[in-house]
């Protein structure tokens, strides 16, 4: 049997090389996990609140949203490039409503060796509201849709930071359109360009009635 002292050498060397101790790495993971738990808690509070998208009967039985296990490997850094074609257009929705959006940036990233690309959109109505000046909207579909996640795709919200060359895209914060919970909403449809061929097991799962 291989002695454990030989197995620990690479780990010690790695810590020295990165300048981080095991404790620092563990603290970083714990802090990240707590931040996502906080986001999940806020989501659950919103769903239990006065403006909940749930039907009255579903709200009575609501015990919290189903989430995938927190997976830090789905927190990706994306290179962004401003879209040349940024004319305003009517975004198709689940109804005949056509809210005005424009393509803002192309996001390119890698996950475990696979290249991924998404378009981030800017809402014409939101960009003039306080707190939403930098808001970008990423509707996306992936191979988990209709299985473990909602069949109609999911959304991510980010804030643009023009001073940075990389933007964080955290799929652990992906959420379902309100249309997943009730037919009384009008939700942006997923653009064909934002359909990924990988299964993203992060964020909010399919609602229980749609599993």
Average pLDDT, the chain: 90
Q: How far, in Å, CA of 128 to CA of 131, rounded?
A: 9
Q: How far, in Å, CA of 177 to CA of 129, rounded?
A: 21
Listed range (13-22, 96-105, 187-196) with the worst mean pLDDT: 13-22
Predicted local distance difference test score (pLDDT) of residue 3 = 46
pTM of the entire structure? 0.86
Does pLDDT of 10 surpass 90? no
Q: How far, in Å, CA of 160 to CA of 150, rounded?
A: 26
Beta-carbon-side half-sphere exposure of residue 95 (alpha carbons within 13 Å):
9
pLDDT tens digits for range 111-135: 999 999 999 999 999 999 999 999 9
Contact between 68 and 205 under an 8 Å Cβ cutoff? The reply is yes
Does pLDDT of 92 surpass 70? yes
Q: How does 139-165 read in b/e, with b if 16+ C-beta sit within 10 Å?
A: bbbbebbeeebbebbbbbebebeeeee
Q: Identify the CA nearest to 172 among candidates 27, 47, 43.
A: 43
**3-class DSSP assignment, residue 67:** strand
**3-class DSSP assignment, residue 169:** strand
pLDDT tens digits for range 27-64: 788 999 999 999 999 999 999 999 999 999 999 999 99
Predicted local distance difference test score (pLDDT) of residue 37 = 98
């Amino acid at each position: 049997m291989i002695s454990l002292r030989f197995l620990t050498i690479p780990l010690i060397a790695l810590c020295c090389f990165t300048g981080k101790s095991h404790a620092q790495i563990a603290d970083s993971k714990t802090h990240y996990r707590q931040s996502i738990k906080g986001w999940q808690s806020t989501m659950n509070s919103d769903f239990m609140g006065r403006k909940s998208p749930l039907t009255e009967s579903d709200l009575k039985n609501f015990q919290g949203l189903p989430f995938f296990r927190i997976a830090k490997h789905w927190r990706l850094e994306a290179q962004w490039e401003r879209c040349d074609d940024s004319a305003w257009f009517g975004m198709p929705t689940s109804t005949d409503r056509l809210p005005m959006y424009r393509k803002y940036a192309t996001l390119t990233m890698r996950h475990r060796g696979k290249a991924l690309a998404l378009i981030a959109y800017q809402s014409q109505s939101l960009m003039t509201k306080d707190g939403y000046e930098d808001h970008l909207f990423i509707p996306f579909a992936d191979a988990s849709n209709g299985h473990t996640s909602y069949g109609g795709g999911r959304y991510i919200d980010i804030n643009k930071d023009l001073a940075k060359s990389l933007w964080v895209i955290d799929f652990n914060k992906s959420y379902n359109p309100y249309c997943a919970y009730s037919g009384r909403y009008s939700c942006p449809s997923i653009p064909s360009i934002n359909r990924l061929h990988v299964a993203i097991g992060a964020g909010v799962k399919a609602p229980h009635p749609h599993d």
